[in-house]
């Protein structure tokens, strides 16, 4: 059973003074997220990522379409006990302490009183806020609030967690911790659906990703599939800063750094390059196939979308 099935969810806002001008925030979206995977929902700012998440959370109502979460209608209130949600740039009741806030959310999520206290302590420890659990949230930094947000999303041990830009506002250490946490959630058998525009995060974490732009789905698939379009080229790296003339003659794309040389060549030229390096007594460091990065795939999809919009106009 898929964790999420989005069946043509669409959202159009009526804008303007008289609210007569339609503005499409999300074109009919069809998407399936499998149970137990980390799914990245990628797109530039204003692409429709947050709208999709708000629709799934029941915060805005769709113009048409439906969805199923964990096998139930997404509007079924019982579903919400099994999902966690971290909104983008979260803001919480700042008159509460982190402990009080989690306690309150635990109450609302129906965590039994006996387990609640223990669970709150456990989550505070997990997100690294145990030492400041008695401090009011108004004194928290942006990064600390993000940690509180992650804590409240996983507090009630949900089967499915939605994170909207979870790395936003976090320092490198914090980002690393969130990555580890997501991997841990996956290891526990939970499904993680997260939106981001930071592609390196998605590349490092996700089993599959979807790319959305201007409210339309532009591509979906496993990271390996999207990035495996090898262009028949390999990257050769060797130590030093000398480039043998025979390699230059091959017309390779060469980048020289103070201690290394990187050359991108056709696969068919690989043996000739290795021979040349041996002859010149250069030390080979690595030979790796060139893969299309997720970033390249992403940019290509966005460019393609821009071109099709331009040609329609």
Instruction: Name the site residues for another protein (rule: CB under 8 A).
Output: 13, 54, 57-61, 77-78, 80-81, 83, 85, 87, 89-93, 95-96, 104-105, 107-110, 149, 152, 156, 162
Nearest residue (CB) to another protein, 80 versus 214: 80
Helices and strands (H and E) in the chain: how many? 10, 14
CB of 201 vs another protein, minimal distance in Å: 22
Closest Cα to residue 296, out of 235, 211, 237? Answer: 211
CB of 25 vs another protein, minimal distance in Å: 10
Nearest residue (CB) to another protein, 65 versus 221: 65
Nearest residue (CB) to another protein, 144 versus 223: 144
CB of 93 vs another protein, minimal distance in Å: 6
Nearest residue (CB) to another protein, 108 versus 222: 108
CB of 106 vs another protein, minimal distance in Å: 10
- Name residue 254's beta-bridge partners: 263
Nearest residue (CB) to another protein, 81 versus 299: 81
Q: Which residues contact residue 98 at a Cβ distance below 8 angstroms, ignoring those fewer than 6 apart?
A: 124, 129, 132, 133, 135, 137, 140, 148, 151
DSSP annotation string for 154-182: HTT--SEEEEESTTTT--HHHHHHHHHHH
Nearest residue (CB) to another protein, 51 versus 227: 51
Nearest residue (CB) to another protein, 161 versus 178: 161
Interhelix angle 142-154/98-109, nearest 10 degrees: 30
CB of 95 vs another protein, minimal distance in Å: 4
CB of 176 vs another protein, minimal distance in Å: 24
Q: Which residues contact residue 13 at a Cβ distance below 8 angstroms, ignoring those fewer than 6 apart?
A: 22, 23, 25
Nearest residue (CB) to another protein, 96 versus 274: 96
* Helix, strand and coil in the chain, % to nearest 5: 40, 30, 30
Closest Cα to residue 149, out of 122, 171, 168? Answer: 168
CB of 193 vs another protein, minimal distance in Å: 13
CB of 113 vs another protein, minimal distance in Å: 10
Q: Which two tokens stand for residue 39?
A: 């799914």
Q: Measure the CA–CA gap between 259 and 142, rounded to whole angstroms.
A: 40
Cβ neighbours, 10 Å, residue 77: 8
Q: Which residue has the tokens 């981001």?
A: 196
């Amino acid at each position: 059973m898929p964790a999420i099935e989005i069946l043509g969810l669409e959202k159009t806002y009526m804008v303007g003074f008289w609210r007569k001008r339609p503005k499409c925030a999300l074109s009919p979206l069809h998407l399936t997220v499998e149970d137990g995977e980390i799914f990245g929902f990628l797109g530039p700012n204003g692409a429709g990522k947050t709208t999709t998440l708000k629709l799934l959370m029941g915060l805005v109502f769709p113009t048409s379409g439906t969805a199923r979460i964990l096998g139930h209608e997404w509007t079924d209130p019982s579903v919400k006990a099994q999902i966690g949600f971290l909104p983008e740039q979260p803001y919480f009741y700042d008159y509460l302490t982190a402990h009080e806030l989690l306690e309150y959310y635990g109450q609302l999520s129906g965590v039994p009183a006996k387990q609640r206290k223990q669970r709150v302590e456990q989550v505070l420890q997990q997100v690294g806020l145990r030492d400041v659990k008695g401090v009011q949230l108004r004194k928290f930094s942006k990064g600390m609030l993000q940690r509180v947000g992650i804590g409240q999303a996983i507090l009630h041990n949900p089967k499915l967690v939605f994170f909207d830009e979870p790395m936003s506002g976090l320092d490198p250490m914090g980002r690393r911790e969130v990555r580890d946490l997501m991997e841990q959630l996956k290891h526990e058998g939970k499904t993680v659906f997260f939106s981001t525009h930071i592609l390196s995060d998605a590349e490092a974490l996700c089993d599959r990703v979807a790319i959305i732009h201007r409210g339309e789905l532009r591509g979906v698939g496993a990271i390996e599939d999207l990035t495996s379009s090898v262009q028949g080229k390999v990257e050769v790296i060797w130590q030093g800063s000398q480039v043998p003339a025979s390699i230059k003659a091959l017309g390779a794309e060469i980048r020289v750094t103070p201690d290394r040389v990187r050359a991108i060549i056709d696969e068919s030229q690989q043996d000739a390059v290795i021979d040349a390096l041996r002859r010149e007594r250069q030390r080979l460091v690595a030979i790796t196939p060139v893969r299309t990065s997720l970033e390249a795939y992403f940019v290509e999809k966005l460019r393609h979308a821009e071109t099709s919009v331009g040609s329609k106009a």
